[in-house]
Amino acid sequence: MIEFRIDRRSGVATYQQLVDQTKHALRLGLLRPGDQLPTAKQVVAATAINPNTVLKAYRELEREGLVEGKRGMGTFVSASLAQPDAGELREQLTDWVRRARADGLDREYVEALFKAELDAHY
Amino acid sequence: MTTYALDATALGMRYRRGWGLRDCEFQLPTGRISALIGPNGAGKSTLMRLATGLLRPTTGSIRVLGEEPGRHGTHRKLAFLAQDKPLYRGFTVAEMLRAGAVLNPSWDDEYAWRLVREADVPPQAKVGTLSGGQRTRVALAIALGRRPEVVLLDEPLADLDPLAREDVMRTLMAEVADSGMTVVLSSHVIADLDGVCDHLLLLAGGRVRLQGDVEDLLAQHRVLIGSRELVMPDGVVEARTTERQATVIARTGPVPGWEADEPSLEELAMAYLRSARAVAA
């Protein structure tokens, strides 16, 4: 079962942190369809946040079709965010980064290049 | 008609030294966790005591779940934990719980005992020998043993160490998750309430300066940073200027020319508290 971590100083709304962490776990395959999310009581007993905040986060995840609340039973994962296998792409990226370094490009420049390409295509 | 947990109309309380609360209008919907924020002497404790019926208002009224506290004393579904956590120091924890059972018609003995067991407080220990955190947990068990729908906690975290604060809040939030009760928590430490409260009631100088849903309030305000030559937006709460720059907190949407951010709860509350103090001075 997923365990939430709340950072009160992050400036990100608490319910958004719960949504983001659930999606992150879905992407990494740590949560799979059929898995149960902790109940609001379990979350607040561990984190001392407002139970209404947990319910709000779960409603948001439900709206996005990622989880499903079952009356009297709890909230369950209903969709996967796992990505297709990226093994080959990752090898190519490793080669590319090695070449960039060998050619003397500094890290900040590579990051800027990468971000510009991401922004252009996503 | 909606029934509010607390509903105040023209509420005022006059002491010999002057007004403790004046012309207060506010509504607290049920099921919310409300932060009652204000400096010492702002009227937080007075407001809570008026809601319990321990004090009678000089003007106006305060309704608890639709009823004015009357001659029957505190509303049956209201619990109040005073700041000094009044427990009999010579009583054992078990004797305190027995007193709770005798004094409260709606007492849930099993529930109160479960809360004490979860707090790891020995039942035979004298109340006077308990740590601050343990004493708060016992006082909370007695307040919640009434099975209230509305619970008022006056500075429940004052004089607790960080671990005990966290324990008390975790317990309280878990019980709220089960029961859906309305909670009012007063504090002058705003950081303690950030992330916990979804409703805000801000008092200063005996008056309500700000109230409402926390997310709505944050979305309605902006921290604006820009050149001091710029035209001030509407709804300024507080403005500070240096030689070139102005920092403004205002109740407004985005304003052209200014760099705008949503404030944090603490920034917003502090701006209102400082501006109330500036007006008073």
Q: What is the 3-state secondary structure (H, E, C) of B201-243?
A: EEEECCEEEEEEEHHHHHHHEEEEEEECCCCCCCCEEEEEECC
Q: What is the dihedral of CA B178, B181, B182, B187, to 10 degrees?
A: -60
State the pLDDT at residue B257: 86
pLDDT digit string (tens) for B135-157? 999 999 999 999 999 999 999 88
State the pLDDT at residue B254: 79
Check pLDDT > 80 for residue B262: yes
Identify from A39, A50, A55 which residue to disrupt to test chain B contact, counting B C-beta atoms within 10 A and taking the largest count: A50
Question: Does residue B234 come out as left (phi exceeding 0), alpha (psi in the -120 to 50 range) or beta?
Answer: beta
Cβ count near B131 (within 10 Å)? 12
What does pLDDT average to over chain B? 91
Of residues B257 and A65, the one with the higher pLDDT is A65
- CA-to-CA distance for B19 and B206, rounded, in angstroms? 7
Chain A CB contacts of B197 below 8 Å: 50
- CB contact under 8 Å between A45 and B173, yes or no, is yes
Assigned token pair, B34 = 């409300």
Select from 3.90.930.60, 3.40.50.1000, 3.40.50.970, 3.40.50.300 the CATH code of B6-205.
Answer: 3.40.50.300
State the pLDDT at residue B214: 94
pLDDT digit string (tens) for A46-91? 999 999 999 999 999 999 999 999 988 899 999 988 777 778 898 9
Residue B161 DSSP class: -
Q: Where are the domains of chain A?
A: 14-77, 87-121
pLDDT digit string (tens) for B16-67? 999 999 999 999 999 999 999 998 889 999 999 999 998 999 999 999 999 9
Summary count for chain A: helices (H), strands (E): 5, 3
Give the rounded percent of residues in chain B with a pLDDT score beyond 70. Answer: 99
Check pLDDT > 80 for residue B280: no
State the pLDDT at residue B190: 85
The beta-carbon neighbor of A45 closest among B170, B191, B194 is B170
Q: Where are the domains of chain B?
A: 6-205, 215-280
pLDDT band at A12 (very low <50, low <70, confident <90, very high): confident
CATH 1.10.10.10 fits A14-77, yes or no: yes
Amino acid symbol at B258? W
Rounded mean pLDDT of B114-119? 93
State the pLDDT at residue B1: 63
- CB contact under 8 Å between B32 and A45, yes or no, is no
Q: Are B190 and B269 in contact (CB under 8 A)?
A: yes
Residue B258 DSSP class: S
State the pLDDT at residue B71: 66
Terminal-to-terminal C-alpha distance of chain A:
32
pLDDT band at B2 (very low <50, low <70, confident <90, very high): confident
The beta-carbon neighbor of A41 closest among B32, B178, B196 is B178
Q: At a CB cut-off of 8 Å and minimum separation 6, what does B166 contact?
A: A48
Q: Are A12 and A20 in contact (CB under 8 A)?
A: yes
Rounded mean pLDDT of B263-280? 89
Chain A CB contacts of B177 below 8 Å: 39-41, 44-45, 51, 54
The beta-carbon neighbor of A48 closest among B31, B169, B198 is B169
| Chain A with chain B: Cβ pairs closer than 8 A | 49
State the pLDDT at residue B4: 96
pLDDT band at B277 (very low <50, low <70, confident <90, very high): confident
In degrees, rounded to 5, the angle at the alpha carbon of residue A15 between the alpha carbons of residues A10 and A17 is 45
pLDDT digit string (tens) for B176-216? 999 999 999 998 888 888 889 999 999 999 999 999 999 99
pLDDT band at B88 (very low <50, low <70, confident <90, very high): confident
Q: Are B271 and B249 in contact (CB under 8 A)?
A: yes
